[in-house]
Every structure is written in C-alpha cells, then in structure tokens.
C-alpha cells in the first residue's frame, strides 16, 4: 500500500494523530474488488487475514499515518464550532495510475480527540447500510464516497442493546467539508482558511488557480458541483436526511449516509430521519438547504477575500443553475429527447400525480415507459395522455424515447426494507441478502429476473418509516 499523507502535512490544527483500536478478531464481511482494482489495491486481497487486519486498523503498513480531521458545522441550522472525526481515522491517500487522489478512511475504529462523549465505534448496521447505499449511488452514476471494505471486529458495541462491532472503509475524493472551512473561520484563523482553500483548489479545482480571482472561481465551482449533486438526488428520489454543513463535501460527492433513504412512495415533503422533527431536510427542501450551506462557505471565505458581491451573485444563481440541471435529468427520465416550452410544468404534473396517488417513484418511471405506444385506458390519468402527446410531437422515434427512459430510470434502488432485512439477517450471521443486494445494485438499470423481488416496492407491513443517524 503506497500511501501519501498530504493532509497530514497541513498544520497541526487541521488534524490529530490517532491510533485505531486493534479489533479482537477482525474478519472480512465485504471487499469491493472492482474499486480495489481502480485504486491499485487489489493485490492486498491475496492475504485475507492481513486484509482484515489492515481495514480494521490492527495492522499498519509502512507509510500509514492515521489522523482524525478537525471540522465544525451547522447542524440543523445551529453552529457547532467543534466537531471533527469522532469515529473515523484517515489512513492516508492513494494516488491512482490516472493521477487521482483518494482518501482511505476507517469508520468505527475507536475514539479520537474529537469523540466528545462517543465511543468512536460502529455496529454492523450502519456499516452495511453505508456499504450498500454508497455503492448503489455510484452505480446509479451519482457522485459519492465509496465503500472499499466492511470488516467485523469481533468486539461488542453497546447501544440500546449489545451489538456486533464493524468498521467501514470509506473512499472519498477528499473529506473536505463546508464545516472544515467554518472550523477555522470561526476561530478567525485567516492563515488556516487560506491554506485550506489553496489545498482544496489544488486537490479539486486546480483550474481555479489560474483565474484572476481564484477564491471566487473556487467558490463558483463548489456551488456548481453541489447544484449538480442535489439535482441528481432529486431526480433519483434520494433523501440525504442530514444535510448539515459538516456533511456537505467540497468535492461535490454525496457524503455521510446516516439516515439517508431512497423514497418508495413519492411525497414532496418526505422525511425519514428520526431526528429531523421539523422536516428541515425533507425531500423538497434539499435544493434550498444546499444553497444555505453554500452561503456558510461563502461567509468563511470572506475572511480571506473581499468578494461579498461576487459570492452573493454566485449564490443567487444557484436556483436557476440547479433548475437547469434538474430539468435535464427529468427530461431524460420522461423520454423528452428534445427540450420544449412547458417541460417544467409537465414534470411538475407528473410529480403531482405520483404524490396524489402515493405511487412508487422508481417503478412508475419504468411503467410509464411501457405506456409510450399504449392504446388501452391510461394508467397515469390525464398526465399520461398529455405526456404521450408531448413525446409523440418529437422528431425522434418513440423507441428512442423508450431507450432513453430505460437507460436512466433504475429498476433497482436500495430499498429501505431490503436494507433492514440485510442488516437483521447479517446480525444473525447470514450475509445472503447483503451480498445479493450488492450484486443487484451494481446493475440498477438492467432486468435481473432472478432478483425480481429486490425491485418490488415494500408491502404495507414492510414499509420503513424511520431511519436513524450515526452509529
Ligand atoms: P455524523 O452524524 O456522522 O455527521 O456525525 C456528527 C458528529 O458526531 C461527527 O463529529 C462524528 O464524528 C460524531 N460521532 C458520531 N458517532 C460517533 C461515535 N460513535 N463516537 C464518536 N463520535 C461520533
Ligand atoms: Mg457526518
């Protein structure tokens, strides 16, 4: 493992050295071989025992320098000046043959100087959940952190009950967050904000450096990436659930899958997270919340550059930029191969139809595609007739619209009831459902008849109504 440690070379106030706990009897639950190949780490799997020791923190190959990162964050609108990796250890960075740099981070490897009251551990549930959901996100074509490994530690973790401990290895383009900037800005540490910004530019947006106003160019790029990301979430029916600024990544990846969930029945104001009592992070609120989070980044950057007007202008363009990203994604989902006036209203009336009839978001798009040439009574009411006229008005053949729809509308999403089933059975020692889910979700757009049950919406008695934060 040839690791670099560029973040560890930043000043001491940016991080703290940590010593991951040695797991009692580490054993592999999952190893993402495709990702390992991309990272040039696949040969590690030749020794399964050593693999489990490395990715539980028990073994430390040369060059590895585990650190926990300092950050702050606005949580549910309230500023917390001191958060940081309370249960995570950044082992180092790999640089791929293609020259891309990725963080390798253990989640659940024990206490750090930022743990506050927490034990720094994770039980099996959140580890398997993040593994499934982040990999599914990747295969859906949405920017995200990824899961390289899941290891059972053999230790017990104490929550409401005694649970089996586990560690996830998360791969990220970086773990820089809006909250990292806020951490230093809150301390009025101009030098640190400057170093952090230059580090972020160098790592993610090197083209900004040659702009006449690099910090403004950097901010614009972060805003664009967030708008693109949230547009993807909204198009796929994903609810992040805890869009605090400490979970808002500078690279534009989906970060932190605590209470995250994909919607079954469509509802504009859907909330899953048990702690989101006022629906701040409800489905439909995600775009304005992203904009709000980006305003916190702008405030932090004001410490090092006098660009309030530019930042305000960029922020005010967020809604229209977001709308155009979302519109493009939704046009494809509805088979609209060429943009027309009124598409926005058509999309909205589709969503209203889904909402009013409590239809499954994912399956409805696939079913709509089958209606493209239908002559029997519509299944999606007045909308369906309107939509068919609209699709019929295009220069392209209906079959092209159909192909487009089926290439962007998944059959398989990580449904909450399946994730919970996978966790329940894994706790009882059976990884069959967990493994099947990973296989199925690696090809979300393809028919996989042998796995048809994973495409189905939950029965009323299977519906998951709440998800839970953290570990
Ligand atoms: P999150 O819900 O992942 O965004 O976590 C918010 C903050 O709580 C971060 O600083 C985490 O590191 C910290 N945290 C969450 N769970 C634990 C835990 N089990 N032990 C220590 N810190 C934790
Ligand atoms: Mg977090």
Instruction: Quick: pLDDT tens for 217-232.
Output: 999 999 999 999 999 9
120 lines ligand 1 (CB under 6 A): yes
| 34 and 118, same domain (yes or no) | yes
Residue among 238, 248, 245 at smallest CA distance from 273: 238
Of 151, 172, 193, the residue that ends a domain is: 172
Q: Which ligand is nearest to the CA of 75?
A: 1
**Rounded distance from Cα 464 to ligand 2 centre (Å):** 22
Give the Å distances, CA to CA, from 457 to 137, 139, 241, 363, 452: 18, 20, 21, 8, 11
- The answer, yes or no, to whether any atom of ligand 1 lies below 6 A from the CB of 84, is yes
What pLDDT does 471 receive?
A: 64
Report if residue 422 sits inside a domain: no
The mean pLDDT value of the chain amounts to 97
Torsion of Cα atoms, 151 then 152 then 154 then 159, to 10° = 120
| Residue 93 in contact with ligand 1 by CB distance below 6 A | no
93 shares its domain with 190: no
pLDDT at 359 over 80: yes
Residue 157 lies in a domain: yes
Verify that 269 and 313 share a domain, yes or no.
yes
| Residue 58 pLDDT | 92
Q: Is the residue at 466 inside a domain?
A: no
Q: Does residue 468 lie in a domain region? A: no
Q: pLDDT > 90: what percent of the chain?
A: 96
State whether the beta carbon of 471 lies less than 6 angstroms from ligand 1.
Answer: yes
Query: What is the per-residue pLDDT for 470?
Result: 64
Residue 63's pLDDT is 82
Residue 199 lies in a domain: yes
Summarised one tens digit per residue, pLDDT across range 171-199 is 999 999 999 999 999 999 999 999 999 99
Domain boundary among 298, 327, 356: 327
Instruction: Give 25 Cα–ligand 2 centroid separation in angstroms.
Output: 27
65 pLDDT higher than 80: yes
**Nearest of 245, 236, 243, 285 to residue 263 by alpha carbon:** 236
For residues 13 and 161, state if they share a domain: yes
Ligand 1 in reach of 392 Cβ (< 6 A): no
The residues assigned a catalytic role are 246
**Boundaries of domain holding 32:** 3-172
Q: In total, how many domains does the chain have?
A: 2
Residue 242 included in any domain? yes
For the cut 80, the answer to whether the pLDDT of residue 433 exceeds it is: yes
- Which of 122, 146, 172 terminates a domain? The answer is 172
For 365-388, what is each residue's pLDDT tens digit? Answer: 999 999 999 989 999 999 999 999
- Residue 106 counted as domain residue: yes
CB atoms closer than 10 angstroms to residue 47: 11
Q: Are residues 49 and 111 in the same domain?
A: yes
Residues 247, 253, 255, CA angle at the centre, nearest 5°?
30
The verdict on 226 and 269 lying in the same domain is yes
| Residues counted in the chain | 471
Residue 465 has pLDDT above 80, yes or no: yes
161 and 188, same domain (yes or no): no
> Which pLDDT band holds residue 2 (cuts at 50, 70, 90)?
confident
Q: Quick one: average pLDDT of 297-313?
A: 98
Split at pLDDT 50, 70, 90, the class of 255 is very high
Q: Ligand 2 centre from 173 Cα, in Å?
A: 16
Do 185 and 106 lie in one domain? The reply is no
Return the best residue to mutate from 69, 108, 118, 281 for the ligand 1 pocket (most ligand atoms within 8 A of CB).
Answer: 118
| Residue 381, domain member (yes or no) | no
Same domain membership, residue 220 and residue 154:
no
Q: Are residues 272 and 297 in the same domain?
A: yes
Residue 64 and residue 47 share a domain: yes
Q: Judge if 320 and 203 occupy the same domain.
A: yes
């Amino acid at each position: 493992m040839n690791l670099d440690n560029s973040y560890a070379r930043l000043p001491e106030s940016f991080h703290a050295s940590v010593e991951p706990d040695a797991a009692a009897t580490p054993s592999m639950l999952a190893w993402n071989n495709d990702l390992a190949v991309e990272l040039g780490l696949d040969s590690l799997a030749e020794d399964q025992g050593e693999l489990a020791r490395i990715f539980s923190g028990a073994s430390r190959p040369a060059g590895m320098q585990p650190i926990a990162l300092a950050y702050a964050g606005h949580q549910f609108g309230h500023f917390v000046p001191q958060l940081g990796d309370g249960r995570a250890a950044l082992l180092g960075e790999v640089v791929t043959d293609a020259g891309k740099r990725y963080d390798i981070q253990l989640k659940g490897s024990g206490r750090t100087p930022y743990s506050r009251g927490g034990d720094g551990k994770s039980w099996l549930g959140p580890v398997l959940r993040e593994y499934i959901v982040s990999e599914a996100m990747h295969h859906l074509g949405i920017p995200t952190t990824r899961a390289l490994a899941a290891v059972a530690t053999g230790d017990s973790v104490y929550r409401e009950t005694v649970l089996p401990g586990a560690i996830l290895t998360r791969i990220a383009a970086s773990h820089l967050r809006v909250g990292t900037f806020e951490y230093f800005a809150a301390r009025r540490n101009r030098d640190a904000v400057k170093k952090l910004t230059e580090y972020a530019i160098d790592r993610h947006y090197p083209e900004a450096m040659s702009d006449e106003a690099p910090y403004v160019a950097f901010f614009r790029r972060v805003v664009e990436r967030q708008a693109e990301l949230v547009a993807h979430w909204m198009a796929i029916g994903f609810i992040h659930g805890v869009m605090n600024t400490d979970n808002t990544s500078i690279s534009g990846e989906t970060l932190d899958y605590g209470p995250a969930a994909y919607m079954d029945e469509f509802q504009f104001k859907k909330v899953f997270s048990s702690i989101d009592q006022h629906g701040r992070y409800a489905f439909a609120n995600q775009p304005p919340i992203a904009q709000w989070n980006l305003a916190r980044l702008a405030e932090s950057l004001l410490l090092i550059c006098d660009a309030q007007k530019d930042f305000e202008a960029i922020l005010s363009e967020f809604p229209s930029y977001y709308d155009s990203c979302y519109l493009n994604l939704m046009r494809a989902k509805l088979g609209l191969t060429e943009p027309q006036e009124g598409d926005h209203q058509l999309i909205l009336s589709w969503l209203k139809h889904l909402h009013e009839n409590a239809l499954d978001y994912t399956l409805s798009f696939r079913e709509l595609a089958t209606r493209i040439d239908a002559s029997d009574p519509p299944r999606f009411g007045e909308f369906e007739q309107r939509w068919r006229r609209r699709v019929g008005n295009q220069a392209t053949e209906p079959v092209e619209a159909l192909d487009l729809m089926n290439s962007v509308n998944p059959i398989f999403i990580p449904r909450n009831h399946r994730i919970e089933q996978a966790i329940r059975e894994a706790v009882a020692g059976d990884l069959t459902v967990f493994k099947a889910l990973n296989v199925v979700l690696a090809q979300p757009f393809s028919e996989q008849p042998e796995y048809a049950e994973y495409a189905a919406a939950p029965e009323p008695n299977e519906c998951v109504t709440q998800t839970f934060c953290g570990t």
